[in-house]
Amino acid sequence: MKSLRRKIITLLLSALAISGFTSCQDEEEMEGRIITGVCWEGVLPIKEYYGQENYFSRFFFYEENSYKYGFEEFYYKGVYQQTYEFGWYWLDDAYSVIALNYGGRWQNDISCIDLREVTNNYMYGYFYMDVADYWAYKDGSYDHRSDHYIELKHVNVNRRQD
């Protein structure tokens, strides 16, 4: 009887372990699912625009068959201005820095968001117009990180179809 009970317990524990491992997804896929398919809205720390409080952006991230792309909608005083398209990818193996390749927006190809925390409702981090500024921060030669802080809120809106 004890032998049968031990075999059943072993079998159940094995089944539980196997189902746990097969349901785990890699970190990149998990992070991608959190940020994709929804709208993230907030103010970017871009000094070129006078009256920073008068504008905001909406980000839409998508992934289809390993192709990652997205759109940023730019609003000024609540009025839609323009949509920018970008490709995106994870800049590091920790899946904490999103590189945004706009293909030349602001005279540089790649911007990035250094994520500190992502929840279902908020994305907290730092936005760098040029990925070189992010690398300067990482190597210690850049000391104005607080100037780049962002909070993007998950909002339930659809992307504009221009």
Which stretch of DSSP H or E encloses residue 155?
strand 149-155
* C-alpha to C-alpha distance for 34 and 95, rounded to whole angstroms: 12
* Contact predicate 138/27, CB 8 Å: no
* C-alpha to C-alpha distance for 133 and 106, rounded to whole angstroms: 13
pTM: 0.75
* Per-residue pLDDT, 5: 53
Query: How many C-alpha atoms does 60 have within 13 Å on its Cβ side?
Result: 14
Structure tokens at 142: 């850049």
* Contact predicate 112/103, CB 8 Å: no
* Per-residue pLDDT, 21: 37
* C-alpha to C-alpha distance for 9 and 24, rounded to whole angstroms: 23
* C-alpha to C-alpha distance for 61 and 161, rounded to whole angstroms: 15
Q: Where are the domains of the chain?
A: 31-155
Q: Quickly name the fold that domain 31-155 has.
A: Lipocalin (2.40.128)
* Per-residue pLDDT, 70: 95
Blockwise average pLDDT, block size 10, the chain, 162 residues: 51 42 46 81 75 82 92 92 93 88 76 91 92 87 80 93 77
